[in-house]
Structure 1
Amino acid sequence: MSVTLSDARVVTPDGVHDGWLTIEDGRITHIGRGQAPRDGLGLGGRTVVPGFVDIHSHGGAGGSFPDGDPETAAAAAALHLSRGSTTLVASLVTAAPDTLARAASALADLCEQGLLAGIHFEGPYIARSRCGAHEPTLLREPDVAEFRALVKAGRGHVRMLTIAPELPNALDVIRDAAAEGVVAALGHSDATYERTIEGIDAGATVATHLYNAMPPLGHRAPGPIAALLQDERVTVELINDGVHVHPAMLRLAMHAAGAGRTALITDAMAAAGMGDGRYPLGPMTVDVVDGVARLASDTPGGGSIAGSTLTMDVAFRRTVREVGRSLVDAALTASLTPARVLGLDGEIGSITVGKYADLVVLDDDLSVGGVMKRGAWVRHP
């Protein structure tokens, strides 16, 4: 199958070009400027960006990945795909080891079907003082043998582990994760600047939702934020929903880390794509009011932000409009940088000849007008 998309603003890592691209057998085979050499689908000057890569999402469309229910997980994945996330990692939350293992096994089936790109354990090895929307009674000290059992349950699809580096045995688990090919992400942590550096030296390469669930920047006690921002080995996740992080702090982080070390995430939970109401997040109960998710007032930590209702198209649009970054930078942070975190940047993440045709067509207001995954329209423009 071959299709040419013409009369488009094509966003590549090198810039924004008025032109066209051709897709054959699911991959991009040609990219050109100006008039297309063959008839194709004219996009009327609309913008084409690479499919979004969301490496941290807990669900959507009423479904919660921590539940491990294949049907609702598939519905959540479909919701995010319709909003442009052609690559999606399913994030779990703190739970008992057997619960995590069952959920990982169920989600591994969806990974093997191509609906998900992997599994992320956010907990249980996180700091009680920064646990946020995680059940504090289920938190555990890091344990290499237990972690290996969770990885085994995921059948090769575990992509990431969020861990607080100050906990006992945390550095050992970080080293083991790196050896297992699992990305170690530092977060939900009260670590000092120095201990954070130790975690990075042990092999951690990602900051889980920078700023959130960690101490703020201090000029005498810089804490984890300074360590994570300044280290070239680390990619920082950012939730750009207008709730989790002030635009000024987003600008600061993107200036410090650059688009090449910044990954937009949604941290979405079941309410993404839905209305206000009460939703589950693992063992916790979340109330969504005016689109903002918080732990229910009658639960431990009630009132804490509990994930988001964000989708990646909104995060992309806010990065251009509210943060002031270019289309190229927004595409890097929403697609190529997170693809690099997963080790998939040779296949996805940018509009580049030879890569899969995972594409999003954006209307003039940067809303999603079309979505293509591996050369097939999921949402026709």
Structure 2
Amino acid sequence: MAAHPIALVHADLYTPTRRILDGTVLIADGRIVAVGPTREVRLPRRAERIDAGGRPVTPGLIDLHLHGVEGCDVFGPELAEAARRLPRYGVTAFVPTTLTLPEEEILGRLAAMAREIEGRPAGARILGVHIEGPHLSPRRPGMANPAWFRPLTPEAVDRYVAAARGWIRMWTFAPEEGAAMAAIPALVARGILPVMGHSDATYAQAVEAIERGVRQVTHFFNAMRPFHHREPGLFAAALLDRRVVTQVIADGQHVHPAALRLLFRVKGAGGVALISDAAPTAGLPPGRYRWLGYEVEVADGRCQTPDGALAGSVALMNEGLRVLIEEVGLDPLTAVRSATLTPARSLGLRWLGRLQPGAPADLVLWDRWGRPAAVWIGGEPVR
């Protein structure tokens, strides 16, 4: 027998294109059936009613850039366990992200990721794989080891896609390195989203990459050429082109609140995708850890290498959403959209990231911003 419909009533709804005070979401058979003011939504007699008591209800958070959680590294066989743990942070879908290693190890780990994805693990939806490294600029390495860097080539695209059995969804690379520009059409032809990141691209190089098909920038502000008024770099190219979505980390460590306000003022919620860039140390106590051969330390809300380079984040998407609202001062509707609808649209996913009839019932009831009270994925409670 099908489960009874579930109605979240008296909620502060963020669809996220509009806010509905005292709203109701009705879900049945894994999908949203109705959304609107509580007084206007007619409920089936057998519906299970959950009184939200005026608390926020949003679509589930979608993380385009995540390396791990609670000691689980998504780059390999721990991916399934990470998917099971993410809903407790309000994340209902994500793109697991790789790390710079020697190529043979990368290819082996991609094969392991593909096996985990094809096993259809419980928990947050896995939307594909995000390649980040080794096709980066040695001028902007972040925590990665430049000894393993290689410019992106069409031949590398073929090798990686074969190892991942077609599950690659996004690819971060430095377009100015070697003949990487020539690889952009190969990514587009395979349905892979080209992403600029860890890049020292000039303005002209970034514009060329965008014209060839690049549509996102990885963790904007971080590990990229900074703005200069005589050479504005990829910074200005991304801000000025409405086709480009800028990923941004809002953990209170990577980017100053004023810079975040500036980014949202220029790009709007439709041009900014909140990401976590969470390391496997996210959710773990302070201490020293090893992350695929890299030594990192967690202290004072930061994950960093011994030389002080930030090594991902220790905050998940729920904390990033809270920071945007409570510390940056964004309207909650703007912040929620950047964490839900914008990432879904950037991947061409028509139904995810929104509360509307027909959409999958992926949603979060929040005790307060940053603290999920309950999470549903496909209409099933998972927290």
TM-score range normalised by the length of the shorter chain = over 0.9
* Letter of the structure 2 residue corresponding to residue 290 of structure 1: D
Pair 1:47-2:56 in alignment: yes
Corresponding residue to 1:19 among 14, 20, 23: 23
Matched-pair contact (CA < 8 Å) for 2:187–2:193: yes
Aligned-pair CA distance for 1:311: 0.6
Q: What residue is the counterpart of 2:319 in the other structure?
A: 314
Percent identical: 38
CA offset digits 1:306-338 (Å, max 9, x no partner): 101111111111111122222211111001111
CA offset digits 1:253-295 (Å, max 9, x no partner): 1111110011000000111111112233333221111221111
* Letter of the structure 2 residue corresponding to residue 13 of structure 1: P
Matched-pair contact (CA < 8 Å) for 2:58–2:364: yes
Question: How many Å separate the matches in 2 of 1:256 and 1:281?
Answer: 36
Corresponding residue to 1:164 among 170, 174, 181: 174
Q: What residue is the counterpart of 1:248 in the other structure?
A: 258
Equivalenced residues, count: 370
Pair 1:349-2:359 in alignment: no
Matched-pair contact (CA < 8 Å) for 1:59–1:77: no
* Letter of the structure 1 residue corresponding to residue 82 of structure 2: A
Matched-pair contact (CA < 8 Å) for 1:144–1:173: yes
* Letter of the structure 2 residue corresponding to residue 77 of structure 1: A
Corresponding residue to 1:222 among 218, 232, 256: 232
Aligned-pair CA distance for 1:365: 4.8
Question: How many Å separate the matches in 1 of 2:288 and 2:210?
Answer: 37
Matched-pair contact (CA < 8 Å) for 1:60–1:75: no
Q: What residue is the counterpart of 1:91 in the other structure?
A: 97
Q: Which 10-residue stretch deviates more, 208-217 or 356-365?
A: 356-365
Question: How many Å separate the matches in 2 of 1:365 and 1:163?
Answer: 33
* Letter of the structure 2 residue corresponding to residue 89 of structure 1: V
Pair 1:303-2:316 in alignment: no
Structure 2: any 5+ residue segments left out of the alignment? Answer: none
* Letter of the structure 2 residue corresponding to residue 10 of structure 1: L
Aligned-pair CA distance for 1:366: 4.7
Measured on the aligned residues, the alpha-carbon RMSD in Å equals 1.4
Pair 1:63-2:72 in alignment: yes
* Letter of the structure 2 residue corresponding to residue 355 of structure 1: A
* SS of 2:96 mapped into structure 1: strand
* SS of 2:298 mapped into structure 1: strand
Question: How many Å separate the matches in 2 of 1:284 and 1:27?
Answer: 42
Q: What residue is the counterpart of 2:188 in the other structure?
A: 178
Matched-pair contact (CA < 8 Å) for 1:7–1:44: yes
Q: How does 1:81-120 map to 2 (within 5 A)?
A: 81-112=87-118, 113-114=120-121, 115-120=125-130
* SS of 1:353 mapped into structure 2: coil
Structure 1: any 5+ residue segments left out of the alignment? Answer: none
TM-score, scaled to structure 1: 0.94
Pair 1:145-2:155 in alignment: yes
Question: How many Å separate the matches in 1 of 2:229 and 2:179?
Answer: 29
* SS of 2:243 mapped into structure 1: coil
